[in-house]
Amino acid sequence: MSTTKIQAAVLHKPNSKFEIETLDLEEPKSGEVLVKIAATGVCHSDWHLVTGSTPHPMPVAVGHEGAGVVQVVGMNVAGVNVGDHVALNWAPNCGTCFYCRNGRPSLCAAYIEPIWAGTMLDGTTRLSKNGKPVYHFCGLACFAEYVVVPQVSCVPIDKSVPLEIASLIGCAVTTGVGSVLNTAQVQKGSSVAVFGAGGVGLSTILGARYAGASRIIAVDKSAVKRKLTMECGATDFLVNDKSTVKRIRALTERRGADYVFEAIGIPAVQEQCLEAVRPGGTLILSGISPVGSGTNLPGAVLTRTEKTVKGSYYGTSNTARDFPRYADMYLKKELDLDKLISATYKLDQINEAYRAMLSGETARGVVVF
């Protein structure tokens, strides 16, 4: 089988830097698609590989929030054509399992094993170096010039949507907006608090504004995020400290917010968020916590106050429905996704991009090819 030389970002072990390397990429097999990557978002989920919070086979080609243009389709591919602009779905679904049949494709069980083994759906890799396999993060590995991905990971997007925006629809936007519209189903006139003002948190704020929330309280550790959160639709901004819950209650008639979103994945903040929810309200956890971590959400409080805690994985999405929907909302100016991109980088600047993300300097950085 023929191969192509590509440049990609690779992680060889936890607590090391991403390395830009030349890899061999095989042509697509049956049911697979070759995509030329245009843009990939700088997301914290890839950083979890660096810290070891997400265990994964290595060496691994990273990147899971991407978009590009279809170059080649393999045998038995339907619904995706050469020249299509596609956003990449990092949680492919089979369409036939229990979860897919019951409207929860983001929980599809069919492809979990190969995706977390770092392979394609057939259990093998398309990437290698010197004859040795290089694993694919989320089946995408899209911090790279080209990728081979399963056809179910490709969702065609209107070509009027810039591919930088389409890349964010592939993860941050779908996770944040989806947590509001799909998971929580926020009601018009509600009060909302969002902890974390990164790409997912800002997308959550945009979703809350679209849903018609009357009060949207943004909470972040960095005061630098105030202006950006307000531009995205927040009515109030709080720098997180020990008085945050008290201040949220003061802004919500001493009750707490109807809906509180934790978009970071830090157990201590998740516990803080439960306190910020009003009795009878809902806490939505959309940030990814380190594997093996635990959160103390006291049962007595949940019972006596009838608070609901919901997990939101990938915004409870149906990507075939939601990617085009969010793209259409962007084109109609119902979601101002341009505000999410605060910096762009070249591939060889990926470590700089992650330094900026960790410092809180950026909303969402994007590596542009």
Summarize pLDDT for 259-302 with one digit per residue, the tens.
999 999 999 999 999 999 999 999 999 998 888 888 888 999 99
Q: Is 43 a catalytic residue?
A: yes
Q: Is there a contact between 218 and 201 (Cβ–Cβ < 8 Å)?
A: yes
Q: Is 44 a catalytic residue?
A: no
129 contacts: CB under 8 Å, gap ≥ 6: 21, 22, 23, 24, 59
pTM (2 decimals)?
Answer: 0.95
Burial of 115 (0-12, 13-18, 19+ CB in 10 A): buried
Predicted confidence at residue 112, as pLDDT, reads: 87
CA–CA distance, 340 with 332 (Å, rounded to integer): 17
Q: Is there a contact between 207 and 176 (Cβ–Cβ < 8 Å)?
A: yes
Q: Is there a contact between 214 and 233 (Cβ–Cβ < 8 Å)?
A: no
The DSSP bridge partners found for residue 147 are 35
Instruction: From the candidates 2, 12, 30, 45, give the one annotated as an active-site residue.
Output: 45
Predicted confidence at residue 288, as pLDDT, reads: 84
For 182, 287, 322, the CA distances from 176, given in Å and listed in that order, are: 10, 9, 12
Report which residue type is found at 221. K
Those residues of the chain that have pLDDT short of 70 are: 1
Predicted confidence at residue 3, as pLDDT, reads: 86
Q: Is 171 a catalytic residue?
A: yes
Q: How many CA atoms, within 13 angstroms, populate the side-chain half-sphere of residue 321?
A: 14
In DSSP notation, 280-312 reads EEEEEE-S-PPTT------HHHHHHHT-EEEE-
Predicted confidence at residue 84, as pLDDT, reads: 98
Q: Is 48 a catalytic residue?
A: yes
Instruction: From the candidates 44, 53, 64, 108, give the one annotated as an active-site residue.
Output: 64
Angle, helix 244-251 to helix 267-276, in steps of 10 degrees: 30
Predicted confidence at residue 295, as pLDDT, reads: 85
In DSSP notation, 154-213 reads EEE--TTS-HHHHHHHTTHHHHHHHIIIIII-PPTT-EEEEE--SHHHHHHHHHHHHHT-
Predicted confidence at residue 1, as pLDDT, reads: 62
Which of 271, 276, 269, 272 has its CA nearest to residue 249? 276
Instruction: From the candidates 2, 16, 30, 48, give the one annotated as an active-site residue.
Output: 48
Residues 77-91 have pLDDT tens digits of: 999 999 999 999 999
Instruction: From the candidates 100, 108, 154, 171, give the one annotated as an active-site residue.
Output: 171
Strand ordering across the sheet containing 236-239: 236-239, 215-220, 191-195, 257-262, 277-285, 308-311
